[in-house]
Structure 1
């Protein structure tokens, strides 16, 4: 698959997941102790029973709410068009590969 097609496929996958998550747990999300809550105050992630350092990911989870995912999907779609010279951003491709779970992607 060419890089532009990879970006478009990943953008679609990310957009669908973000729209579905946003219906249930609308953005923005916020950290409340060891819990991430949605705009409706629903619990999205609960690390209250996690052991020591079990909540180190909580800030990242809150930052990557559906609104952020939709912005990333827009960026991927824009990057698929290439720059002024038609070159596709390799970092956008790396993000797309992570979303698609592809081999050879950065981890």
Structure 2
């Protein structure tokens, strides 16, 4: 079975949830880790429950940052990001970077950065094109209105210009991809047996069809044409 980038992201999210559950405290307020020198503890305040004793202060500080609550939040992010993946030649930047994180969690790579090439199939016909659309709201209206489509630089300029006028805006990216799709299967043309009425039945009597299928008979078969 083929493993997609979405599968990798969800697998990493599940691994984080399992690990976080194993070290989670009963209540969220007791989840944080605390560093006190080279000691790491867990609880509402430092020193409540021992977690680890490290060789350096820096390592204790680092462990304290990555408490179970952070792991669960990261798992939610990976799970959500998996929903943005779709097969194609390009993918949103946040999907690409999330894949790098997921691979680190799963231990499938030592690389700290993924590239779009990691997720590109070999069916790209032409480079993808990207357009940037600026939309805006008027006062308390909930509807977003189309302003225009620009290059990235032009869109950034319009957003900054409207910001100076206290207008709420948003930037929408539209990416068009071009992929090579499988050709339809070639099937043999059906054979038409005669005699049967042809397309010019109001001009002449029924007769056998012409030599080639789908020929629109002008009142005779191809065999009757001069030179055949």
TM-score range, shorter chain: 0.7 to 0.9
Deviation at 1:7, TM superposition (A): 0.3
- When normalised by structure 1's length, the TM-score is 0.81
List, as ranges, runs of 4+ consecutive aligned residues in structure 1 with deviation greater than 2 Å. Answer: 103-107
- In structure 1, the residue matched to 2:166 is none
- In structure 2, the residue matched to 1:11 is 13
Q: Which has the higher contact order (CA 8 A, sep 6+)?
A: 1
- In structure 2, the residue matched to 1:75 is 77
- In structure 2, the residue matched to 1:90 is 96
- When normalised by structure 2's length, the TM-score is 0.40
Q: Which has the higher strand share?
A: 2
For 1:18 and 1:37, the matched residues in 2 are separated by 15
For 2:53 and 2:6, the matched residues in 1 are separated by 37
Unpaired stretches in structure 1, ≥5 consecutive residues:
none
- In structure 2, the residue matched to 1:29 is 33
Deviation at 1:55, TM superposition (A): 2.9
Count of aligned pairs between the two proteins: 99
- The structure with the larger Rg is 2
For 1:3 and 1:57, the matched residues in 2 are separated by 31
Unpaired stretches in structure 2, ≥5 consecutive residues:
114-228
- CA RMSD between the two structures: 2.2
Query: Which of 45, 49, 53 is residue 42 of structure 1 equivalent to?
Result: 49
